[in-house]
């Protein structure tokens, strides 16, 4: 009995159980797909310092990659059956690395085009990882593990960017290292599962979610867009506070270090802390953090504020999955949750690009607060309606 438990360590609510090695390999594809998230502010900042990217280009570049990645994740989740995952992962990993290398020496137009194409490959890789998480019995725990692993990888890359690559080799050095790190994703091919079980009510692909699932995805989109709007402008916000690029780069890697702690905390609290409590506490922290960033503050306070915000940005993210599952028990919305978060990564910077100028980027802070309050309001509404429905059918409240 003990050996069987060890062999089938990851209990899936949909499809066969997985071993720890299989689950870890499946998460490896998604870890590679999100490497760009941890270094994007430093990479865009380097491009701007080299006069290869404008202030508006900051938002547009981040939006382009996140938009194509989110659409890619969503479309393959709806249209494709979860089969031949190893071959798909290998092709997408190689394509992504080649696109990173192709950005060497590129100007704004070419960078925008290449990062849009990169988002497609990244979305496919993320779909492989999300497929495993959405089918597990405790998805917030595996989402927390995934965020811990991906954030740790982002931190290692961000430290290399901040301390060595960007100061010495500039943006091209960053693209070269990013592409090289991406190739490590090929290791996942060896032990990753080659297929997953079909979701309830689906034939072939997962299919679209029902209405309540779409509402949950809308809440995810708006809520996550708040942090994306502010995060893409980390270095310009530092400059407006009278701080240099080194402060922004330090704030980036300390934030990533804190995000590992946030992901670990979410993993430990999975199944114990209700998702609504996690959202309310995190939202209060975000609003306070952004209020501080609007001030003319010393570098150490800028770093601390962004670090605290980083902890809660990843702490709250895994709780988006149980929120969507409560709204849509078929888990089809949960499969689209990552796509919605990525589209949020496009929506936030795209809208923020309309409210900034080269001299003033503080508009992103007000925009982020508006998105945050709107998204949280929808989440609260979903929770209240779920409780009322449970009471009406005589099953009590959800845990």
Average pLDDT over residues 309-336: 88
Looking at the chain, list the stretches that DSSP marks H as alpha helix, in order from N- to C-terminal side.
2-7, 20-33, 35-49, 55-79, 85-102, 108-135, 139-160, 166-182, 211-231, 234-240, 245-269, 275-293, 299-316, 320-327, 332-335, 337-352, 363-392
Q: What is the per-residue pLDDT for 340?
A: 87
Q: How many CB atoms lie within 10 A of CB 368?
A: 26
Query: What mean pLDDT is reported for the chain?
Result: 85
Percent pLDDT > 90 in the chain is 31
Q: According to the model, what pLDDT value does residue 373 have?
A: 96
pLDDT at 194 over 50: yes
- Tell me the backbone φ, ψ of residue 224, rounded to 5 degrees: -70, -25
pLDDT band at 11 (very low <50, low <70, confident <90, very high): low
Chain-centroid distance of CA 384 in Å reads 27
Q: Is the pLDDT of residue 54 over 90?
A: no
pLDDT score at 5: 44
pLDDT band at 125 (very low <50, low <70, confident <90, very high): very high
When pLDDT is cut at 50, 70 and 90, the band that residue 390 belongs to is: low
Summarize pLDDT for 138-181 with one digit per residue, the tens.
788 888 889 888 888 888 888 888 888 988 899 899 999 999 99
Query: Is the CB of residue 122 less than 8 Å from the CB of residue 34?
Result: yes
| Lowest-pLDDT choice from 196-205, 291-300, 378-387 | 196-205
**Is the pLDDT higher at 350 or at 378?**
378
- Per-residue pLDDT, 336: 85
Q: Is 10 helix (H, G, I), strand (E, B) or coil?
A: strand
Q: What's the pLDDT score for residue 198?
A: 76
Given a cut of 80, is residue 295 above it in pLDDT? yes
93-112 mean pLDDT: 91
**What count of Cα atoms within 13 Å lies in the side-chain half-sphere of residue 19?**
10
Name the pTM for this structure. 0.78
Mean pLDDT on 345-350: 79
Supply 33's token pair.
């797909």
How far apart CA 130 and CA 156 sit, in angstroms, is 23
User: What would the two tokens of residue 156 be?
Assistant: 């290692």
**Structure token digits, residue 255:** 């934030």
CB burial readout 152-168, b (16+ within 10 A) else e: bbbbebbbbbbeebbee
Whole-number Å distance between alpha carbons of 196 and 204: 11
- Token pair for residue 220? 């995810």
Choose the most confident range, by mean pLDDT, from 14-28, 48-62, 78-92, 325-339: 78-92
96 touches 43 (CB < 8 A): no
Is a pLDDT exceeding 80 seen at residue 367?
yes
- For tokens 């949750």, the residue is 337
255 vs 389, higher pLDDT: 255
């Amino acid at each position: 009995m003990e050996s069987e438990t060890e062999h089938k360590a990851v209990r899936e609510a949909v499809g066969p159980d997985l071993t720890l090695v299989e689950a870890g390999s499946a998460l490896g594809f998604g870890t590679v797909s999100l490497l760009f998230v941890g270094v994007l502010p430093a990479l865009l900042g380097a491009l701007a310092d080299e006069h290869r990217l404008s202030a508006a280009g900051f938002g547009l570049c981040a939006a382009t990659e996140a938009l194509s990645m989110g659409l890619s994740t969503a479309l393959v989740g709806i249209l494709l059956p979860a089969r031949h995952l190893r071959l798909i992962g290998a092709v997408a990993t190689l394509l992504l690395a080649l696109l990173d290398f192709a950005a060497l020496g590129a100007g704004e137009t070419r960078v925008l085009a290449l990062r849009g194409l990169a988002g497609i490959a990244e979305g496919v890789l993320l779909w492989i990882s999300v497929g495993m998480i959405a089918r597990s019995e405790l998805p917030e725990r595996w989402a927390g593990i995934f965020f811990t692993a991906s954030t740790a990888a982002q931190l290692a890359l961000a430290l290399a960017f901040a301390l060595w690559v960007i100061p010495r080799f500039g943006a091209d050095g960053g693209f070269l290292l990013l592409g090289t790190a991406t190739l490590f994703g090929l290791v996942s091919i060896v032990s990753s599962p080659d297929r997953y079980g079909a979701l309830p009510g689906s034939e072939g692909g997962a299919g679209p979610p029902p209405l309540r699932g779409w509402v949950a995805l809308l809440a995810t989109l708006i809520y996550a867009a708040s942090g994306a709007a502010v995060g893409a402008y980390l270095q310009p916000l530092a400059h407006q506070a009278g701080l240099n690029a080194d402060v922004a780069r330090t704030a980036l890697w300390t934030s990533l270090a804190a995000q590992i702690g946030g992901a670990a905390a979410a993993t430990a609290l999975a199944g114990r802390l209700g998702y609504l409590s996690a959202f309310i506490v995190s939202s209060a922290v975000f609003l306070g953090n952004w209020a501080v960033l609007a001030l003319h503050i010393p570098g150490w306070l800028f770093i601390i504020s962004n670090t605290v915000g980083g902890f809660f940005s990843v702490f709250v993210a895994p709780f988006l999955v149980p929120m969507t599952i409560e709204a849509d028990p078929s888990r089809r919305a949960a499969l689209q949750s990552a796509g919605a978060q990525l589209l949020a990564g496009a929506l936030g910077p795209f809208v923020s690009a309309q409210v900034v100028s080269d001299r003033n980027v503080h508009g992103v802070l007000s925009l982020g607060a508006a998105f945050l309050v709107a998204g949280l309001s929808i989440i609260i509404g979903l929770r209240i309606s779920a409780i009322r429905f449970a009471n009406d059918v005589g099953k009590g409240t959800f845990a």
